[in-house]
Amino acid sequence: MDGYLKEFTKHYCQTAAGCNAQKELPTATLVRQIIETATEHANILGIGYNELIRENNAWVLSRLAIELNRMPRMHEDYSLTTWIDSFNRHFSRRNFVLESSSGEILGYISTVWVAINIKSRRPADLSSIADMEKMTFQRECRVTSKGRIKPDMRHDIAKSYLFATTDIDFNRHVTTARYVELIENQFDLDFYDRNEITHFEISFHHESVWGERVDIYTQMNEATGESYSMIHSEKNGAVCTSITTFRPRVKIA
Amino acid sequence: MDGYLKEFTKHYCQTAAGCNAQKELPTATLVRQIIETATEHANILGIGYNELIRENNAWVLSRLAIELNRMPRMHEDYSLTTWIDSFNRHFSRRNFVLESSSGEILGYISTVWVAINIKSRRPADLSSIADMEKMTFQRECRVTSKGRIKPDMRHDIAKSYLFATTDIDFNRHVTTARYVELIENQFDLDFYDRNEITHFEISFHHESVWGERVDIYTQMNEATGESYSMIHSEKNGAVCTSITTFRPRVKIA
């Protein structure tokens, strides 16, 4: 035993007020909770914000992939359990399982983080940050990630957005949750009444800032239910790229 | 003793990832947590969503006023404690105290709720819902509310917004948090670097839906630091009206 808490669980309750129009956990809220759970676990392991900032380093989310059996529903208790799966000199893979309070597996999440020096914006050397070898843990995480998603200008839906005050986080960049919302907003409300997300993944290419104007491009493959999205900044090119897979909802009488 | 839990407390931790650019709790997150705490307390008291919906009734937030000494800061533990202050046939006043883990009072919140019949959209009779007399509690709540804020078209800032999928809640109306964000976004990021909110209040006049276009009007009184905002729908007129009071931040070296 080396004393590290290798798995960390956080419990949530899906209140009515926190539900989306389909009476489920909103994707952007799940993403916020994934980041929150990761942040709290990193703090416990002694590799959190306070420790990293001493050397001007910080964790930046590079990729996120979610595989869903179903979303937590209104009034349902659920939990996120996270562990560090692996790491190399620059990247750390942190996995999650999303479970109902009765132990039903609702989904799996895989995230890739890079520690960067916030002054130089260059990757930090993880091996100098902590003995992460001793913090890793092996557990099943069934996510079929396509890896880094390439920028692609083809689209059949294009919208525009100007990043505002409440879109900005403590690093003074746009929050991950806001990117997820902009991608979700490419489709109308009734599309989500008819379809649910089974897979969502996003790769980050460039950090947007306050006042930056972006275009959101989406291309839907009706045959596969797979939708490709890119948030594109006129100034900086691809901000993030994303793939969402939908399946028709089963009608409940 | 009548067995009702008249005061309910919910604990929160302000993670780095959940902070705004000023490394504090975002106003919209506080509003979400106020509604979440109210919702959970109502569930405990047996006057929650599940009970009300049996008669096709639901709670709707009519007014909200926040008085702040300061916002919770990054990595700070804090709590929201709520109780029902008073009620009449149509309205229920629910108050809150926002406290740090050391017991420092960070702020007070006062909210006014109306129970409506979701089919007719008419107010429900609270006296038929529960014996709310036995649920009320008296405790200090220092909020100086201006009451219902009148619509006013005068403005020196005007922006436009089209409500999208992720702005919609389980009642299929725009979330309170999104209105609060739109009002906050009338000012630039650096304005919030220089100023902090000491008072915020909002009155709701009409519920917006998906695809509704609104204009957000703001008029700032530089002398008093008081800012008036209205979200206005071309189709339905005033959606909500709001007053925010700012004070210059004390510079920390």
Interface residue B39 vs chain A (CB under 8 A): yes
The complex scores an ipTM of 0.93
Of chain B, the percentage scoring pLDDT greater than 70 comes to 98
> pLDDT tens digit string along B24-36?
999 999 999 999 9
**pTM of structure:** 0.94
pLDDT digits (tens, 9 = 90+) for A129-142: 778 888 999 999 99
Report yes or no: B118 at the A interface, CB cutoff 8 Å.
Answer: no
Residue to test with chain B: of A24, A31, A157, A170, most B Cβ within 10 A: A170
Band of pLDDT at residue B2, cut at 50, 70 and 90: low
Evaluate if residue A1 carries a pLDDT over 60: no
* Chain B CB within 8 Å of residue A81 CB: no
Strands B57-68 and B195-204 come out as antiparallel
pLDDT of residue B205: 96
Q: Which pLDDT belongs to residue A2?
A: 67
DSSP label at A185? T
In this predicted structure, what is the pLDDT of residue B86? 93
Q: How many CA atoms lie within 13 A of A252 on its CB side?
A: 5
Pick the residue with more confidence: A146 or A240?
A240
Residue of B nearest to A173 (CA): B21
Cβ contacts below 8 Å, chain A against chain B, sum to 106
* Interchain contact, B21 vs A184, CB within 8 Å: no
- Which residues, 6+ apart, have CB-to-CB distance to A118 below 8 Å? A53, A56, A57, A58, A171
Q: How confident is the model over A161-190, as pLDDT tens digits?
A: 999 999 999 989 999 999 999 999 999 999
pLDDT grade for A99, boundaries at 50, 70 and 90? very high
Q: Do A170 and B20 touch (CB under 8 A)?
A: yes
In the numeric block, which tokens belong to residue A176?
Answer: 């991950």
Distances (CA, A) of B146 to A209, A215, A244, B65, B66: 36, 41, 46, 9, 11
Could you read off the pLDDT of B182-209 as tens digits, one per residue? 999 999 999 999 999 999 999 999 999 9
- Give me the pLDDT at residue A47, please: 92
